[in-house]
A and B are shown apart, each in its own frame.
Chain A
């Protein structure tokens, strides 16, 4: 089924001043659609984590958000280095973020598990050298 409408966002690399703009914009859209506040909250947390990952690890990327009658799908993709060991990366507290990122309060290794906790469906596709694609699905009803 085709989506009713879609939004695309650029996620710039290493720019923390705009990181979070895409998820913040999606949060506003969901509020306007009248989506239940707790679902809006989970969506914006999951999307923000994926967005910030693209900023920190993926040299930036893109977000594609598609709105369907009953769900929203979010795809965050980057052409960064990719993930060696997905299972390891999913573990709470595991992080490959460099110190300069950690000093800014990011890179605590909670991002992916936080997405998993908040998303209704979450698929992570990645291969070293081929970038990362994070698929998040949220059911609205």
Chain B
């Protein structure tokens, strides 16, 4: 799969790149680098978070990603898949949360601490961090959609005073499927003088032991917004949920250009050359995975696209 790198032109003009390069030049982005699994944490029955450290040295590491970007993770002799980066440690290690879906993700989920995987990246367009300052933020995550938003949320928590009201809505299937639960609880305990900081969690179904909310995640959206023109929304989760959430936000007065979604398609090369993730005039790997609703609203209802 990685041999495709021989067939493409790596010029900056053709492949717009983002992120801070820690290591060598940009050709670097197209070759897997050896990373060691330094930690493995089980998030749910079929989901784990891997911490990956550069095997040799930080100078031989992939560029640091921006929130919303993804890496290609390569399990030797099995294959390669795109996985969003859910965190970067202070030592440059990446955190990736992976759900067991196919052969490669299963191999990643089963990888032992100390084993080696290949990493190349960071790829794609991330969340609109530059547009977020001084605005009210609505962050909505469904299921494992929280993983691509986690870096963004951590950044928002660190720089809380840079933003107005912050509403974070998180949905999951059942209480035992909630990813990053301990971290969510810590966000819920955060107190802040600078405007609203509301973190709400809801599950699709639960028994009585669950003291939280039960329902669909879109039910957590605010009933009204005092200044929708100053709000910015970031959504990640199943596409059906994102469509309904984005439509609900439009009804609340948000402009389509102020709503961002993270799309998922079958990505292979990760830099817009192979065409696997073509989405009408876009390549999800290169032009996304984060898109404004304005760009993709009309495409989301096209069947088989």
| A and B are partners in one complex rather than unrelated chains | no
B residues whose Cβ falls under 8 Å from a Cβ of A = none
A residues whose Cβ falls under 8 Å from a Cβ of B = none
